[in-house]
Amino acid sequence: MKKIVLPGAAFLMLFFSCNQQNPAPMPVPAPVARPAYAIAIHGGAGTIRREDMSPEKEQSYQAALDSALTIGETILKNGGTSLDAVEQTITWLENCPLFNAGRGAVFTHEGKNELDASIMDGATQKAGAVGSVMTVKNPITLARAVMEKSPHVFLTGRGAEQFAAENGITLTDPKWFFTQERWDALQKIQAEDAKKSGSLDRRTDSKFGTVGCAALDNKGNLAAGTSTGGMTDKRWNRLGDSPVIGAGTYASNDACAVSCTGHGEYFIRYAVAHDVWALMVYKGLSLNDACELVVNKKLVEKGGEGGLIAVDKDGNISLTFNSEGMYRGYARPGERKVMIYKEQ
């Protein structure tokens, strides 16, 4: 039988014309020339609906995303590095109780907060990651220290905390991470489990809020980072994609910087962040086509809910997700936008 090969763009058009249940989010327009900087952020993806959101809550998320974006944009505007922009933006989001990272992280089955983070430098392809840390105030800073001050990429648990103490990273009482909303979410999931309804999706009820940032600086260097508390009611030191280089985070100056959010097991299985990079480098896809193919085709087919933010070496930006919403924003010189819902 003769195999019919559709060219990439035609295939994408065919696929998307068959999948029009939800209005797609407006793509970010391409810059005319490489901008002096570009930055994109996310604060988690999932079933985020206008009808479930009070105007006050919506306003707090918009304001928080806007403040986080300002942190990174100011660094980049002043000639700072993409790595500093990524680390400082994520640090701000980790300290904000609205998001599932640092303060505001979701609770494990045992009622603890176990935090995961990773960062990658597109210029050197060095990376640092930490998993299941419980006393580190800003896991993204520890991930950067692992990258810069250790011969390793990935440290977990007590060893990671020991490394933090030895390297002057701020430690905190685990109570710092507590928020009533996340605690209540754990109680709700456990009560449902006790009734054996088994219907509650741990990620859906975690109210999302993993945070991430991708940036391009004026030297053309890309960087990406991601930080999370993972999923509500997680057990057995479960790690998601966020601290896994190639799954939740990836950056390489030859193509793009990517930070993901979503159902971590799928993002690990399909090496999502690296897949975007590979499609660009090996197949010559544009940033947006690569992100669409991975998030709205591959992940949809496999059942993996979530999204990603990405910046490429020419300053293109993609904010792509297959869930109902994603807290997100981006900035380039003269351009700036913060969004929550799909139809924005």
**Which residues are catalytic, by number?**
210
Binding mask 284-313 for ligand ASP (x = CB under 6 A): ------------------------------
Find the shortest distance in angstroms from Cβ 188 to ligand ASP.
17
User: Per CB under 6 A, does 104 bind ligand ASP?
Assistant: no
Return the structure tokens found at 141.
């800073």
Binding mask 236-265 for ligand ASP (x = CB under 6 A): ----xxx------------------xx-x-
User: Per CB under 6 A, does 230 bind ligand ASP?
Assistant: yes
C-alpha count within 13 angstroms, C-beta hemisphere, residue 63 = 9
d(CA 86, CA 122): 12
Tokens 């030191």 locate to 237
User: Per CB under 6 A, does 128 bind ligand ASP?
Assistant: no
Residue 148: its H or E element = helix 139-149
User: Per CB under 6 A, does 118 bind ligand ASP?
Assistant: no
User: Per CB under 6 A, does 108 bind ligand ASP?
Assistant: no
d(CA 15, CA 238): 34
Coil, strand or helix at 319: strand
The one among 37, 154, 163, 208 contacting ligand ASP by CB under 6 A: 208
Contact 114, 239 (CB under 8 A): no
Type of residue at 207: K
Partners of 336 in beta bridges: 331
The one among 210, 232, 288, 323 contacting ligand ASP by CB under 6 A: 210
* Cα distances (Å, whole numbers) of residue 241 to 173, 192, 228, 314: 26, 26, 10, 26
Q: What's 171's DSSP letter?
A: B
- Identity of the residue, 75 or 186, whose beta carbon is nearer to ligand ASP in the bound complex: 186
Coil, strand or helix at 44: strand
Find the shortest distance in angstroms from Cβ 79 to ligand ASP.
32
Binding mask 70-89 for ligand ASP (x = CB under 6 A): --------------------
Find the shortest distance in angstroms from Cβ 47 to ligand ASP.
11
Which spans of this chain sit near ligand ASP (rule: CB under 6 A)? Answer: 44, 203, 208, 210, 228, 230-231, 240-242, 261-262, 264
